Amino acid sequence: MVDREEDIAVVGIGCNFPGGEGLDNFWKVLLEGKNCTVQIPEERFNSALWYDADNSKAGKTHTTKAALIGGSKDGRALLSDEEQEARWVEHFREVLNQPTPPTLFNLDQEPPAPTLNITSDEISGIEVDRAIKSLKNNKVPGPNEVSTELLKHGREVVVESLTHLFNLIWHSEDVSAYWRSGVIVTLPKKGNQSDCNNWQGITLLSIPGKVFCSVLLQCLKTEVDNILREEQAGFRKVRSCSEQIFTLRNIIEPA
């Protein structure tokens, strides 16, 4: 191997591009196999423009569409933020507050349910730690903006604090108002985007509240699974409704 002094190119890049002269020089020296030191004025740096320009050089395209907020029921365009917010409130009240369906059987005639052997002891740190580890990363936090990653990286301090908080709730039977509230965000579906029905509503809930629910669920799951019918596969571990669907299709198709 022959030692040689490598060329070093210094390129000044501002933010008045993408596709500007500074960025073109940057890519040019890289293609020539030279080392490149980039000087970017901190007060003018724009990471979004840099990202878009980088994708442009790689042949990638990225387009952003402005969301069309749902119109009124009579088709009238809603131009102000206040009108649009009122329409969304009206829409989700209708969708989420459906009337209670009629009861098709008499609960008084049902046999008494068996007593479940569920512990009522205080919540332990081990249970809280296990629930935190089961959370998925890169999820949008709820109204209090506490993320999954924040809880996971907090380690023993977070586990100890949440364990104390959960036991206070357990004894007082009073859940925080933050955990009972959520933020509804909308994602577009197919169809006319001016129709609220063509948007999917997703409620963002508190992550610590989800941890608390996960702890309670684990306490109930084992005992409840023991009394569920064998035919029930939905919402059960290592079970799936697709198994029942597959069985029904095999029975129906030959007929």
pLDDT tens figures, 210-239 = 999 999 999 888 888 888 888 888 888 888
State mean pLDDT over 72-93. 82
Q: Is residue 16 part of a domain?
A: yes
Same domain, 138 and 242: yes
| Cα(57)–Cα(138) distance, integer angstroms | 28
Q: Is residue 73 part of a domain?
A: no
Cβ neighbours for 221, distance < 8 A, ≥ 6 positions apart: 237
Q: Is residue 202 part of a domain?
A: yes
> What domain count does the chain have?
2
Same domain, 24 and 142: no
Rounded to 10 degrees, the C-alpha dihedral 127/130/136/141 comes to 40
Share the mean pLDDT of the chain. 77
The pLDDT of residue 211: 96
| Cα(42)–Cα(12) distance, integer angstroms | 11
The pLDDT of residue 25: 59
pTM of the shown model: 0.63
Which of 44-48, 94-98, 133-137 comes out lowest in average pLDDT? 44-48
Better-predicted residue by pLDDT, 26 or 65? 26
Q: Pull the structure tokens for residue 167.
A: 């036991």
Q: Is residue 138 part of a domain?
A: yes
| Cα(231)–Cα(233) distance, integer angstroms | 6
Q: Pull the structure tokens for residue 11.
A: 């390129």
Q: Tell me which residue has tokens 């507050």.
A: 97
Q: Is residue 74 part of a domain?
A: no
State mean pLDDT over 100-105. 80
Hey, CA dihedral for 229, 234, 238, 242, is it positive or negative? positive
pLDDT of residue 36 exceeding 60: no
Q: Pull the structure tokens for residue 208.
A: 């610590």
Better-predicted residue by pLDDT, 178 or 23? 178
The pLDDT of residue 106: 75
Of 41, 57, 73, the one marking the end of a domain is 57
Same domain, 129 and 247: yes
| Cα(94)–Cα(169) distance, integer angstroms | 32
State mean pLDDT over 29-47. 50
Q: Is residue 228 part of a domain?
A: yes
pLDDT of residue 146 exceeding 70: yes
Range of the domain at 12: 8-57
